[in-house]
Amino acid sequence: MKHRNGNFITLAALRDAFAVAIVCAGIMTGLATAQGGQLRFCLHNEPKTFNPLQVDDDAAASIRYLTGGVLIRLNRQTQQLEPELAESWKVSEDGREISFRLRSGIAFSDGTPFTTEDVAYTVQQLMDPALHSPTGDSFRSANGKVETKVVSPSQISILFPAEVAGLDRLFDQVAILSQNSPKKEMAVLGPFMVADYKPGASVLLQRNPNYWKRDEQGRRLPYLDSILLNIQPNRDVEMLQFKRGELDLINTLDSEYFDKLASASPQLVHDAGPSLDSEQLWFNEVAKAPIPVYKRDWFRSANFRRAISEAINREDLSRIVYHGHAQPAMGPFSPANKFWFDAALKPPAYSPDKALQALAADGFRLENGTLKDRAGNAVEFSIITNAGNKARERMAVLIQDDLQKIGIHVNVVTLDFPSLIERMTQSFDYEAIILGLTNVDLDPNEEMNVWLSSAANHQWNPQQKTPETPWEAEIDRLMRAQASSGDANKRKAAFDRVQEIVVDQQPFIFLINKNALSAVSTRVHGAAPVILSPQTFWNAERLTVSGN
Amino acid sequence: MRLGRILWFAVLAIALGASGAANWLAPAGYAKQYREATDARPSAEHWLGTDELGRDRFARVLYGTRISLLLAPAAALLSTLLAALIGGLAGYLGGVWSRIAMAVTDLFLSLPWLFLLITVRALMPLNVSPFVSVLVTFLLLGLLGWTVAARVLCASAASVRSSDFVRQAKAAGLSGQRLFWVHVVPNLKPVLYAQFWISIPVFILSEANLGILGLGVAEPMPSWGSLLKELESLVSVGAEPWKFVPLVLLVLVVTSFQILLSKQEEAAG
């Protein structure tokens, strides 16, 4: 498929691909022809909004996914873009303009017809600075007005003031609003619509009677009558409700709950393999940080960081902390990211002996079981992580033990999250941190705020006026090059090089990639959990539930 | 009755003796990770199994008992002494002193101590050894835990002050200080003892709660508090009763302390 080279995607080819995916899903799950039923699962917090353009939390994102109609959808299983409300689309060579050809005969849930004006209205709302749309922020590459042009009743083009990297992919998050419906954002184009909301208790979604999609047999989708979303922040209660049959799925499970459930009912749990999420350790390299100069010198040494990386037994982190439901991380991107992961990267080796050799190159020596630097300072530092996160606390203790083997004494400190963030971003009063990155997007552009040396989330040494090291300068250049290129292969080559530099320099010592774990009741038919969010209900329109 | 007293004394002696002999009974120590035997069931090698990181639970219980048995009473002693000083004197002196002391107590009671502790922890240096973290944790508990006891002691001291025997002593010309130490303090002893013993389990459990905020005993050092954290997930504990050992031990030790104390008081009375 070519999205950016000026060719329209052919509808027939995509229809074929879609049909294959559906058939596969059907084979995998033994999808019955039964229709109807109510799907029940939990939201872990109150949805802050029902306006799809203002979504900024998981609960609201789930509701947007289930109710919002989008022009282009990222297939969570194939990780490819697919046409939805747009039959086809084209991105201009310079990456500033995207043109859509819309499907005809579609109406919102309240019967209001869907037109190109609705797309123009949605884009106008999306880019309105007064709305502060988090989704709109992804499109803001430069100051200036976004222009929409209705070419014909079924064609519309949108021109941005500057190139927007991965422009078409961003439309996966843009649910189209109705310009004319009196119901405003409650009129939707997705498979479900909000029917009832009980604050603090539940959100009821009902089938959208005007949903445009049909299955291969010509039956209207979705199959389900309704979805009941219980608002339940307590994971223990969620687990008990699932066990009692009061819920039909748990979208994300931690490894401990997964194993407990698996031991009793293995048919209910699903391990979809490594997700995009990573956990990492990094050292404080900030010049003005209130830490001893000799420690900063250690932390700024690539040899020191490589040695620490080699001394950490990631296999044990995965096996012990995550009960095997995680993989040693190879670099910034997980292998789960099919296109962007650099296949040339090798799994990190665990070798305390090599670690000591690397440290010796910097003048460190082992004396009576204690590692000392050139000046005779014993190597000791603290690792902080957020209190209450069992997995991180356990990883820290395992790393403490691993590093003790090469003579490094580590103090593990757990802090409440606000204190940790204050030390990490304001006072820089810390030595090393274990935290995680939750990646919801496949494209590296979403991580510009991490990899650019000037970025606030360049955590080991943020907001540099000019890159302080040659390798950071090189990463800056490569990230900007990939972001400004329209050629996917050139972008991939540039980001591969970024991944290789990061693995070589170890500014983040990537530890593990967690697996995507979920639980689905046997009453649910058609489920095929994947690693991308929403893992279990990405194909909600084709799910059925029996027996309720 | 005598047999019961001997039994409770034996429980306390075993707990104290075993924790004191932890170095010999569990020579591998509390921090050694048997990574190939994580979360193991009890066996000849690991009498109480291993924890989620493969550390011998029996060793951790012994060392944790030592820490909690030494430091929780120390914190309780500190808080009781502070309470006796502030509450006892306020009650004895009465008048404006009592009002000032109780105002200070009310001020301390009204402090959001949880957030205060979070702030204190955020200000503390990060590179402290686990042993120092233990001391700091229990010191903080002792310094902040005196307020409720002070109110009780203030009321008791006020009651003693207005009792007939104190009036008689005053009429007989006893000085203020002698009156306080000879006639008032001995009559506050039962309240002081009660506050002291009540504080011990409270501090042990508070330490467990503080662990969640990062204020507890630092890894890898164990305490009853950190061991009790294993019970957070009730779903798993139902099938693993040996994880209740720290809880059973806590109940037994605190009960034995209180029973022995009451027997002693009965004997003295």
Give the closest of B35, B220, B236 to A316, CB-based: B35
Q: How many CB pairs under 8 A join A and B?
A: 70
Q: Residue B131 has what pLDDT? A: 83
Q: CB neighbours (10 Å) of residue B181?
A: 10
B145 in Cβ contact with B235 (< 8 Å):
no
Q: Nearest Cα to A486, choosing from A239, A29, A165, A128?
A: A165
pLDDT-based confidence at A476, cuts 50/70/90?
A: very high
How far apart (Å, rounded) are the C-alpha atoms in residues A58 and A48?
Answer: 9
Residue A510 backbone phi and psi in degrees, to 5: -70, 130
Task: Using an 8 Å CB-CB cutoff, list residues of chain A that contact chain B.
Answer: 236, 239, 256, 260, 316, 320, 380-382, 384, 387-388, 393-394, 396-398, 400-401, 411-416, 419, 422-423, 429-431
Q: What is the mean pLDDT of chain A?
A: 90
Alpha helices in A367-423 (DSSP H): 390-404, 417-422
Q: Residue B178 has what pLDDT? A: 85
**What are A528-546's pLDDT values in tens digits?**
999 998 999 999 999 999 8
Give the fold, CATH level 3, of B56-228+240-248.
Answer: MetI-like fold (1.10.3720)
Give the closest of B31, B118, B234 to A419, CB-based: B118
**What are B131-148's pLDDT values in tens digits?**
888 888 888 888 888 998
Q: Residue B264 has what pLDDT? A: 64
Q: Which residue of B has its CA nearest to A430?
A: B126
Q: Are A387 and B213 inside 8 Å of each other by CB?
A: yes
Q: Are A416 and B126 inside 8 Å of each other by CB?
A: no
Task: Tell me the mean pLDDT in the region B219-245.
Answer: 80
How far apart (Å, rounded) are the C-alpha atoms in residues A472 and A302?
Answer: 12
Q: Looking at CA atoms only, how far is residue A455 from chain B in angstroms? A: 26
Q: Are A320 and B52 inside 8 Å of each other by CB?
A: yes
**What are A90-139's pLDDT values in tens digits?**
999 888 999 999 999 999 999 999 999 999 999 999 999 888 888 888 88
**What are A260-307's pLDDT values in tens digits?**
899 889 999 999 999 999 999 999 999 999 999 999 999 999 999 999
Mutate to test the interface with A, among B60, B114, B119, B126 (most CBs of A within 10 A): B126
| B150: CB partners within 8 A, 6+ apart | B82, B83, B86, B87, B90, B101, B105
Is it the case that residue B240 has pLDDT exceeding 90? no
**What are B117-126's pLDDT values in tens digits?**
777 777 778 8
> What is the torsional sign of CA B124, B130, B134, B135?
negative
How far apart (Å, rounded) are the C-alpha atoms in residues A530 and A298?
Answer: 41
How far apart (Å, rounded) are the C-alpha atoms in residues B131 and A431?
Answer: 20
**What are B49-58's pLDDT values in tens digits?**
999 999 999 9
Q: Are A411 and B129 inside 8 Å of each other by CB?
A: yes
Is it the case that residue A35 has pLDDT exceeding 80? no
Q: Looking at CA atoms only, how far is residue B201 from chain A in angstroms? A: 22
pLDDT-based confidence at A215, cuts 50/70/90?
A: very high
A434 in Cβ contact with A392 (< 8 Å):
yes
Q: Where are the domains of chain B?
A: 56-228+240-248
* Beta strand ranges found along A84-201 (DSSP E): 86-91, 97-102, 147-152, 155-159, 192-198
Q: Residue A134 has what pLDDT? A: 87
Q: Residue B69 has what pLDDT? A: 86
Give the closest of A398, A411, A431 to B218, CB-based: A411
Give the closest of B31, B35, B218 to A320, CB-based: B35
Q: Residue A350 has what pLDDT? A: 96
Q: Which of A342-356, B66-80, B169-183 has the lowest mean pLDDT?
A: B169-183
Q: Looking at CA atoms only, how far is residue B52 from chain A in angstroms? A: 7
Give the closest of B54, B126, B220 to A400, CB-based: B220
Task: Tell me the mean pLDDT in the region A376-394.
Answer: 93
Q: Looking at CA atoms only, how far is residue A384 from chain B in angstroms? A: 8
How far apart (Å, rounded) are the C-alpha atoms in residues A190 and A208?
Answer: 7
Q: Residue A93 has what pLDDT? A: 83
- Residue B175, SS3? coil
Q: Are B126 and A413 inside 8 Å of each other by CB?
A: yes
Q: Are A401 and B127 inside 8 Å of each other by CB?
A: no
Q: At residue B242, what is the residue type?
A: W
Q: Are B127 and A380 inside 8 Å of each other by CB?
A: yes
Tell me the chain A residues in contact with residue B214 when contact means C-beta distances shorter than 8 Å.
Answer: 387, 413-416, 419
Give the closest of A239, A398, A419 to B122, CB-based: A419
**What are A492-539's pLDDT values in tens digits?**
999 999 999 999 999 999 999 999 999 999 999 999 999 998 999 999
Task: Using an 8 Å CB-CB cutoff, list residues of chain B that contact chain A.
Answer: 31, 33, 35, 38, 52-54, 118, 121-122, 126-130, 211-214, 218-220, 233-236
Is it the case that residue A10 has pLDDT exceeding 60? no
Q: Looking at CA atoms only, how far is residue B153 from chain A in angstroms? A: 35
